[in-house]
Structures are given as structure tokens and as C-alpha cells.
Amino acid sequence: MSRLVVAILLGAAVGLERERIHRAAGLKTHALVSVGSALFTIVSIDGFYAVGRVNDPARVAAQIVSGIGFLGAGTIMKQGATIRGLTTAASLWVVAGIGTATGAGMYAAAITTTMLVMLSIYIFKAVEKPMRKGEYSRIEVHMENKPGHIDVVRDLLTRHGILLKNVEMDIDAQNLVLRMVVQAPAGVDRTLLIGELHGHGVQRVEW
């Protein structure tokens, strides 16, 4: 059916960008979500008349909206202080809506939404890059492996308005190394912060 063909093409168009940057949910996943949503919608609208029952298309559409959340949640991963996969989860959710609209025969809404999604994925990403330039820094902190030292470092960073984005740790019996990606506000006094860290048992700081 034409609605299924349009749904799979629109879903694939959205998934192409996720595939290009090697996300777990790429072209095939987005295409399948879209065509699956379209099929469920078509069945909910047309299928139950054949067996002599009164249909309720809204019931199936509501289940698509809630059910896709489980698939989207599977693409979200927490790595240290960083959460990845939110954009992919959101794109899967939108693709389900595109498929539902296509299955209901609302081609204009489905195509317009696909164009808006592509705009947000490609154009907004280009706008974000210069805005984020220079915001992130890497800090490596060497200290003794004693209880509470990690909390001290975290509290000092927070006090200076610095946000932790990712943390990796190397630990042995005596020493602890924290490798952090942080987002620091403009004008943060690095010398003062490093001095405060040295005053709390930190042996070396590389920024």
C-alpha cells in the first residue's frame, strides 16, 4: 500500500543522519518504527470492520505513543556524568508519529514533520557547534586514595560553577586519578581552583 511505502521512506530519511554518525538506532530502525506505526494505524482504522467489530483508532495510536518509549529508552546510555542517546530516542518517538500520520492518510502532516525534523537535525547542529566552542575542558587530578577525596574535588568544582560532564577513574591501593570533562564558565580562576585543590590533598592537577 502507498501509505506503507511513504512511511518507510520518511522514517528512513530521518534515520539516515543517525546512521551516518553510527548510532545504535539508525536508518533501518527508524524505517521499521515508521512503517510499523503506519501498519498499526491502518489496521486500527480499517481492519476491525472486516470481523464485524466497532473500531477505535485512537486506542491503537495511544499504544504506539506509549510503547515507543520502551524502544527509545533502550538507546539512552549513561557514561560517567554524560547521558547519550537522547536525540536518537527523540527521533524514534517523532518517527513513530510520522508513521502514525502516514497510516492515517495525513501525508501533508507527515511530510512537513519529516522536513522539520531534518531541519532540526542538520541545521541546528551546525548552529550549536560555534556556540559550544571552548566551553569544555579536560582536567586530570592526581590524589591519594582516601575516603571523601572525590567528594571534595566535586564540591570545589561546583563552588566555582564548573559542571562535570564525564568522569573516568584509575584507582589503586594508594593513588587515585580522576580524568574529567568539565564545562567551565567564562572567567573561571583556574589558578585559584588549582590552589584550593592542592590544599585538599591533591598532588597534581593538569588542566
Residue 202 and residue 153: Cα distance in Å, rounded? 9
The alpha-helical segments, DSSP class H, found in 26-77 are 27-46, 57-73
Residue 185 and residue 17: Cα distance in Å, rounded? 31
pLDDT, tens only, 89-125: 888 889 999 999 999 999 999 999 999 988 887 787 7
Quick check: 162 and 183 in contact, CB under 8 A?
yes
| pLDDT surpassing 50 at residue 41 | yes
Burial 147-166 (b: 16+ CB within 10 A, else e): eebbebbbebbeeeebebbe
Burial 126-145 (b: 16+ CB within 10 A, else e): eeeeeeeeeeeeebebebee
| pLDDT surpassing 60 at residue 132 | no
Q: What is the mean pLDDT of the chain?
A: 80
Residue 36 and residue 157: Cα distance in Å, rounded? 47
The segment with the largest mean pLDDT, out of 18-32, 42-56, 138-152, is 138-152
pLDDT range class, residue 169, cuts 50, 70, 90? confident
The dihedrals phi and psi of 51, each to the nearest 5 degrees, come to -105, 15
Can you list the domains of the chain with their CATH numbers? 2-131 (no CATH), 136-206 (3.30.70.260)
60-74, 144-158, 180-194: lowest mean pLDDT where? 60-74
The alpha-helical segments, DSSP class H, found in 104-148 are 107-132
Q: For residue 200, how many other CB atoms are within 10 A of its CB?
A: 13
19-23, 147-151, 198-202: lowest mean pLDDT where? 19-23
**Is the pTM higher than 0.85?**
no
